[in-house]
């Protein structure tokens, strides 16, 4: 009897050990699915490797636009910063050329590091999509690099560690919101030692996460971690305690432009969340049936993942919703376009994404174990928001061209 028991116990131990090793290898060697597409060198040519190069390409297109269209305004917002870097948000406004009816506001780089792809999409839009005909009754306002600090320094957040897309308060009570779910996870989300991706805790991060998923559910954890929090200034997805300077500076400019139009479509370009290489339409849930059906018409033929659907999440302090609040009484259509990178709709991809965020943020506030660790953590972070894959970059351009062409025609 004892012998049988011993065999059972050893077998169980063997199964558990095999499971542990399998998961360990799967997690630590995690890669998203490959993208099956032929690389286009014309598409990849829109991408640059530095903030300065993105900016310079955008500004040289601005000069050409001035020649081609009437009443074009090119301007910038200087974003103050402690390190004295030259950080600008660049703006091109092409008014509707005949009658002002619709306005499209197309923004890149609200999450600094995501600006590389956003900038490429804006360049493509200028070069391949717009025309006198399309801009006859539609104005286009391009906002390039809304968070230039993060863009230049490969961070998502501003110099004040603020996530701009959690910062845009329509009502000041936003900054008093308590995110209880984040509080419960704060030890996991905001470790205070030096960042080291290779220590045993981080190599087994998936196990800690899976334990939480079993007790809380994936959707609840995702919502708690990502919706935004206003209590931990050194934490992730921190929304700040007041407007960041660029949001304050942008408000009167936006109001001045929006006043001339009756319908405003705001598209905010992001990367990082969702299936690798897939263009997701990912707005916050919308209650107003007119706004909702307006978006469904403009984006018909495409799946819209309203933030409250299974694999997504809702956010507080959303930029596109805030823009709508600046022009009450008009039809405001807010949309977020997100190009997925790490297959974060899958459990391991989701865990890896959040771990990349935690480690990068931890390193910024508490230092890195050594230079090698720092380089590894930062390169993983950059790769998550700006993949070097030429297939990914090709897909971003081809898919955004297809959708934006349709959107312009339907406006």
User: In terms of CB distance, is 72 or 278 closer to Zn ion?
Assistant: 278
Tell the smallest beta-carbon distance from residue 271 to Zn ion (Å): 7
User: In terms of CB distance, is 111 or 378 closer to Zn ion?
Assistant: 111
User: In terms of CB distance, is 304 or 411 closer to Zn ion?
Assistant: 304
Given 155, 166, 270, 280, the residue binding Zn ion (CB under 5 A): 270
Provide the β-strand partners of residue 333.
265
Among the listed residues 74, 51, 49, the one whose alpha carbon sits nearest the alpha carbon of residue 61: 74
Tell the smallest beta-carbon distance from residue 114 to Zn ion (Å): 5
Site for Zn ion in 106-125 (CB under 5 A): 111, 114
Sole window of 40-48, 57-65, 169-177, 268-276 interacting with Zn ion (rule: CB under 5 A): 268-276
Please name the residue that has the structure tokens 């910024």: 364
Residue 106's SS3 state is strand
Report how far residue 149's alpha carbon sits from residue 113's, in angstroms, rounded to the nearest whole number.
9
Tell the smallest beta-carbon distance from residue 111 to Zn ion (Å): 4
Count of chain residues binding Zn ion (CB under 5 A): 3
Sole window of 64-72, 93-101, 246-254, 266-274 interacting with Zn ion (rule: CB under 5 A): 266-274
Tell the smallest beta-carbon distance from residue 73 to Zn ion (Å): 27
Output the DSSP codes for 216-263: H-HHHHHHHHHS-BSS-TTSTTB--SS--HHHHHHHHHHHHHHTT-SE
Sole window of 270-278, 300-308, 322-330, 374-382 interacting with Zn ion (rule: CB under 5 A): 270-278
Among the listed residues 199, 146, 185, the one whose alpha carbon sits nearest the alpha carbon of residue 168: 146
Sole window of 26-34, 169-177, 265-273, 326-334 interacting with Zn ion (rule: CB under 5 A): 265-273
Tell the smallest beta-carbon distance from residue 113 to Zn ion (Å): 9
Tell the smallest beta-carbon distance from residue 336 to Zn ion (Å): 8
Tell the smallest beta-carbon distance from residue 316 to Zn ion (Å): 14
Output the DSSP codes for 130-143: --TTTTSSEEEEEE
Among the listed residues 272, 261, 267, 307, the one whose alpha carbon sits nearest the alpha carbon of residue 286: 307
Output the DSSP codes for 53-101: HHHHHHHHHHHHHHHHSTT-EEEEEE---TT----EEEEEEE--SS---
Residue 332's SS3 state is strand
| Residue whose C-beta lies closest to Zn ion | 270
User: In terms of CB distance, is 141 or 386 closer to Zn ion?
Assistant: 386
User: In terms of CB distance, is 93 or 149 closer to Zn ion?
Assistant: 149
Report how far residue 146's alpha carbon sits from residue 119's, in angstroms, rounded to the nearest whole number.
11
Q: Should residue 155 be labelled a site residue for Zn ion when binding is judged by CB under 5 A?
A: no
Q: Quick one: tokens of 162?
A: 């603020």
Q: Which residues bind Zn ion (CB under 5 A)?
A: 111, 114, 270
């Amino acid at each position: 009897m004892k012998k049988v028991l011993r065999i059972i116990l050893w077998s169980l131990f063997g199964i558990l050990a095999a499971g542990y090793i399998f998961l360990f290898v799967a997690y630590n060697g995690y890669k998203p699915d490959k993208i099956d597409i032929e690389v286009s060198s014309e598409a990849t040519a829109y991408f640059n490797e530095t903030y300065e190069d993105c900016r310079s390409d955008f500004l040289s297109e601005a000069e050409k636009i001035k020649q081609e269209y009437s009443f074009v305004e090119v301007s910038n917002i200087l974003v103050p910063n402690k390190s004295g870097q030259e950080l600008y948000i660049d703006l091109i406004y092409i008014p509707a050329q005949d009658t002002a009816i619709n306005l499209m506001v197309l923004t890149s780089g609200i999450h600094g590091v995501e600006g590389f792809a956003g900038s490429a999409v804006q360049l493509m839009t200028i070069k391949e999509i717009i025309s006198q005909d399309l801009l006859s009754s539609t104005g286009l306002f391009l906002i390039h690099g809304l968070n230039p600090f993060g863009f230049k320094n490969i961070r998502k957040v501003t110099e004040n560690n603020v996530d701009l897309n959690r910062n845009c308060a329509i009502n000041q009570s936003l900054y008093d919101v308590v995110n209880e779910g984040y509080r419960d996870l704060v030890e996991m989300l905001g470790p205070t030692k030096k960042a080291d991706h290779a220590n045993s805790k981080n190599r087994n991060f998936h196990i800690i996460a899976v334990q939480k998923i079993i007790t809380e559910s994936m959707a609840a954890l995702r919502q708690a971690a990502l919706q935004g929090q206003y209590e931990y200034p050194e934490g992730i997805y921190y929304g700040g305690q007041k407007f960041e300077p660029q949001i304050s500076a942008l408000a009167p400019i936006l109001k001045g432009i929006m006043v001339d139009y009756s319908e405003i479509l705001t598209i905010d370009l992001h990367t990082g969340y969702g299936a690798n290489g897939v263009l997701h339409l990912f707005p916050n849930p919308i209650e107003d049936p007119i706004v909702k059906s307006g978006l469904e018409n403009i984006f018909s033929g495409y799946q819209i993942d309203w933030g409250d659907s299974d694999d997504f999440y809702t956010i507080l302090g959303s930029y596109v919703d805030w823009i709508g609040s600046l022009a009450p009484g008009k039809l405001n259509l807010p949309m977020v376009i997100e190009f997925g990178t790490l297959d974060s709709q899958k459990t391991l991809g989701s865990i890896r994404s959040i771990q990349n965020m935690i480690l990068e943020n931890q390193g910024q506030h508490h230092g890195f174990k050594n230079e090698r660790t720092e380089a590894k953590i930062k390169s993983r972070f950059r790769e998550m928001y700006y993949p070097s894959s030429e297939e990914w970059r090709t897909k971003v351009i081809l898919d955004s061209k297809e959708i934006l062409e349709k959107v312009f025609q339907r406006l």
